Amino acid sequence: MMFKGKAALVTGGGSGIGAMAAQRLAAEGAQVAVVDINLAGAQAIAARIEASGGVAIALAADVSQAADNAQAFDAAAQAFGGLDVAFLNAGVLQPYVPFDAVTEDVFDRLVAINLKGAFLGLQQAHRHLRAGGAAVVTASAAAVIGFADAAAYSASKHGVLGLVRSAARDFSKKGLRVNAICPGGVSTPLIGATPSLDIVSPGQLALPPYQGLLDPQQVAEVALFLLSPSAVGVNGQAQLVDAALLSAFPEGSV
């Protein structure tokens, strides 16, 4: 129960990594605000948490909008009497196309949601989180290496790491921490997968295939660690969670 007595907010909490993180935070004792642009998805995860004996509320928000971010954080803080941790996980992918086929509309959308959304969420986390708290932002393995078929996505996630590193000093001044996770391939609805929403004990998680797809909970567990007091010495960092995807050239490629 490492989050007993704490209150958490999770964006993109209606599916994928966010849904697993929201449920695991609740299982570890946190009250959880499940935030998603898809309110029905957020309500479904909040209902699962409550059915398991936890406390949760569902909130709708478009993270690319400043007013939506402020309203979500305000509502969560009011419902729970404050906030301690925030997992800023909402984001979108782009169609895989060559660099010169990326349109201005696609680029603007990726930056608005993935980068501006992280910026707005981090500002609200800095304002709302109580001393001793932490924020984690979902970046990507594409934040530390180029992605030829998804240039706008990679650029937006590179920017997320810049935000996290730049925010670390001011978070620290308030007794807070901020870090990023950089998942590799993950089996989520963003890539058309329909993984189970059931959580398991962390000790029951299987080892993912070498350089293979991860299960959403395998990524969520790393976010929980960075949000927890166990990671008190970690601030302004980016943690790869990629099943060794970027550790070496793919087998047979050289």
213 bridge partner residues: none
Average pLDDT over the chain reads 96
Cα–Cα dist 191/173, whole Å: 38
Q: Is 96 a catalytic residue?
A: no
Residue with tokens 């943690």: 239
User: pTM of this prediction?
Assistant: 0.95
* Beta carbons of 59 and 35 less than 8 angstroms apart: yes
For domain 7-241, the CATH superfamily is NAD(P)-binding Rossmann-like Domain (3.40.50.720)
Tokens of 86: 């925030």
The pLDDT value given to residue 196: 83
Residue-wise pLDDT tens digits, 36-77: 999 999 999 999 999 999 999 999 999 999 999 999 999 999
Catalytic position from the list 20, 153, 178, 219: 153
Instruction: Please state the three-class secondary structure of 20-88 as a single string.
Output: HHHHHHHHCCCEEEEEECCHHHHHHHHHHHHHCCCEEEEEECCCCCHHHHHHHHHHHHHHHCCEEEEEE
pLDDT, residue 190, reads: 79
Q: Is the pLDDT of residue 123 over 70?
A: yes
Model confidence over 150-185: pLDDT tens digits?
999 999 999 999 999 999 999 999 999 999 999 999
